[in-house]
Structures are given as structure tokens and as C-alpha cells.
Amino acid sequence: MASQLSLGGSVQEHGLRMTRQRRLLFELIDGSREHLNAEALYRLAKQRDPRINRVTVYRTLKLLKQEGLVDELDLLHHEGDQHYYETRLKREHAHVVCLRCGRVEEFFGEPLQRLKQQIEAHFGFQIMIARTEVGGYCAHCQALAAREAHELRNTGPVPREKAAAPVLKWQPKK
């Protein structure tokens, strides 16, 4: 498996030991279809290795970041101050984040490569890594907001004594 070779080679090049738990955590991140935060990674790892602990997870994440094998993402802080992890073995992509429900999609494509080339040409800059996040509202949340707005228009104003808080058109997921 390419990810195992890349992980083992990089860690060993720096004189670090490749432990079973480090390999497990890297494989979980690399194989996940979701962006995992440290707690979700810990829960998944605990299912496969009941002896693993949170300290090991956090230390391994720090090591994998230092080795350039894992990126730490904030994904527009759609869930507060959570950080998420993905391997750098994936080709470059943009993260498209719904600011309401928190859904994250990955966009791969030529437009990202053209944007990098334009930035390099404009600034005379050599890009080594590009992380792109785009925030907006997914089709599902747009439809929900339209339905909510329609319901509000059709039911009339809420009496002041029944209104607990002002209704906002868009509310980020908490």
C-alpha cells in the first residue's frame, strides 16, 4: 500500500520508530471518507486497538504534522474550534464547506491548478502547498432556508411575547 510505504519511509528517515499505533492512526486518517477530528480519530482507533489512549493520538498527530504527512484543517470553524486531519497523500483540492449544516465536499480540478499558476506568475511566488476553503450554503440548506422563509411569510409575524430570539435567515451549525 503506497500510504504505508510513504509513512514508514518518512518517519524512519528522521530516525523515528514506526509503531503499530502510529501506523494505525495514519491508516485511519488516510482511509477515512470524512475529515476526522482528534476525538473521532481516537474513538475509531480505540475500536481497533483498545489499548490506545488520547495522549498517543495527540502525540502521533503532532508527529505526523511535523513530518509533513498530515495536514491540520479548521474547515472554516464550522464546529467551533475543532481541527480536522487529512493525509497529504491526496492530490490538492479545495474544501467546500456548508456554513449551515457543516457538510464538507472536496473539489478537485483544473481550475485550482490554474489559480496556483496565476498566483505564482502574479507574485513571482513558488507555491509549495495550497489549502483552499470555500464557505457557502449547500443545495439542501438553501432549500430549507427558502422553505423557512416561505413559512414565516405565510404565518405572519410572531407576537413579541412568544418570540424567544430573533429569527436569522442563515445560522451556522453549532
124 against 83, higher pLDDT = 124
Task: Provide the grid cell at 99.
Answer: 456554513
Q: Is the pLDDT of residue 168 over 60?
A: no
Which residue(s) pair with 71 in the sheet? 86
The confidence band for 9, taking pLDDT boundaries of 50, 70 and 90, is low
Task: Provide the grid cell at 95.
Answer: 474544501
Q: Is the pLDDT of residue 69 over 50?
A: yes
The confidence band for 120, taking pLDDT boundaries of 50, 70 and 90, is very high
By percentage, how much of the chain surpasses pLDDT 90? 31
Domains of the chain, start order: 1-90 (1.10.10.10), 91-174 (3.30.1490.190)
Q: What is the pLDDT of residue 50?
A: 95
Cα–Cα dist 36/21, whole Å: 17
Q: What is the pLDDT of residue 83?
A: 85
Residues 77-107 pLDDT 10s: 766 677 888 877 667 888 898 989 988 888 8
Q: What is the pLDDT of residue 170?
A: 47
Q: Among candidates 67, 41, 71, 72, which has minimal Cα distance to 54? A: 41
The confidence band for 167, taking pLDDT boundaries of 50, 70 and 90, is very low
Question: Helix H segments across the chain?
Answer: 2-13, 20-31, 38-48, 54-66, 110-123, 139-155
If you average pLDDT over every residue of the chain, what do you get? 80
Query: How remote is the C-alpha of 125 from its chain's centroid?
Result: 26
116 against 89, higher pLDDT = 116
Give mean pLDDT, residues 102-131: 89
pTM over 0.85: no
Specify the pairing of strand 36-37 against strand 84-87: antiparallel
Contacts (Cβ under 8 Å, ≥6 apart) of 137: 98, 99, 100, 145, 170
Cα–Cα dist 25/136, whole Å: 31
Q: What is the pLDDT of residue 166?
A: 45
Q: What is the pLDDT of residue 4?
A: 44
Give mean pLDDT, residues 134-155: 90
